[in-house]
Structure 1
């Protein structure tokens, strides 16, 4: 399916937002829309000539699998996020949809040509790569040294910010994109610990759980303080 930039919900926040209308139309002409169902793979480690993509709606996880078959979640991708390794011959990790997701997909050669033709796009993608690297380092530091409470609070704050339409304010209500088991995997905790700590946060008046995956933030400042994040 051809891309429709005019109605794209991330047209002002994705890396392509730095392009003018003519440049954006040229980029869109070589891309396509792809829809993934929950659990469907965008590409797998070892895939030749894996595509590049911008996530429009939904959520993705980037994972690695050890020799015993155990999955490790390395990172999450939220709407407007960019996925792809443009300068290697194959994908290094699995990328899987956490929810029903829609993406703008480009062949590696087309995206490489675009960043050569549009320096602003190259700078935007470099900036996003630096942000992703910082987020990965922060997660590693948190899982290595943070308490169970701080790890969970930081993850909830990230989910709330990703679910928001504003770069300054988190969403007050959102759906957890990860199961309890996936959250435990990502944070280096047990499922039982994640469930217990969610209950403690609710008892403390910081959150309210709605149904199976819904979360309402009642005290964002408390969660920020617990996570060690600075409030803007």
Structure 2
């Protein structure tokens, strides 16, 4: 997991991450305490209940946030994509496990230093609050998937959620993207089996709603039909 310092001017999420709320001087202050680190798919970013020293912005890639019950069963509670913020400010230990679900690059900040920058710059605090509320809404939407009776509706809802997360625009869906979750993870998230996920994806493809491209690529060909399935 190489660590490096990089220029904020070259950051692909400069205009969409929490730091977008800062002017050039304020950004330089935050950049002075930041470093980037690369994580391979499957790497643990934050382990459950470890000492919580850092927070981070996802520069590229994706991560899943999961709770682990007493029996070791994982439950995904959030999916984060580029510009997503990781970390629980003012907490001393991590409450969830965070894992890279694609090769990822994160911009890491020591939590204490980040909190001090927040105290000096209210715009950063406001940006974090807005992003926290948005992430909470997305987490609730994922939880809502499980309450739907029809598996196809759950899967369609998940695909729409992934398309929204993969879109560079906060108001739209990506028409083509790589699935960040394995079939097993998708099945676990919506409460079904791997075989059922595969059958439902095949059915949607035969109906012309989606198309698969390689091992992970997904193209949404008919968004209105996918939305009707998810309703």
User: Which TM class, normalised by the smaller chain length?
Assistant: over 0.9
SS of match in other structure, 1:99: coil
Match of 1:131 in 2: 134
Farther-moved stretch of structure 1 (61-70 vs 2-11): 61-70
1:137–1:166 Cα change, 3 Å? closer
* Cα shift readout 1:60-85 (whole Å, capped 9, x = no counterpart): 01112222222221211111000101
Aligned match of 1:34 in 32, 37, 61?
37
Following TM superposition, by how much is the alpha carbon of 1:134 offset from its aligned partner in structure 2, in angstroms? Answer: 1.4
Give the direction of change, closer, same or farther, for the CA distance of 1:160–1:137 in structure 2 (3 Å limit): closer
- Please give the alpha-carbon distance, in whole angstroms, between the structure 2 residues aligned to 1:165 and 1:108: 27
Give the total of aligned pairs.
228
Contact 1:149/1:227, CA 8 A, preserved across alignment: yes
Q: Does 1:192 align with 2:203?
A: no
Q: Distance in 2 between matches of 1:187 and 1:50?
A: 32
**TM-score between the two structures when normalised by the length of structure 2:** 0.94
RMSD: 1.3
1:142 match: secondary structure: helix
Residue 50 (structure 1) shift: 3.4
Which ranges in structure 1 are unaligned for 5 or more consecutive residues?
Answer: none
- Provide the residue aligned with 1:213 in structure 2: 216
1:109 partnered with 2:146: no
Please give the residue correspondences for 1:161-172 in structure 2 after superposition, counting only pairs within 5 Å.
161-172=164-175
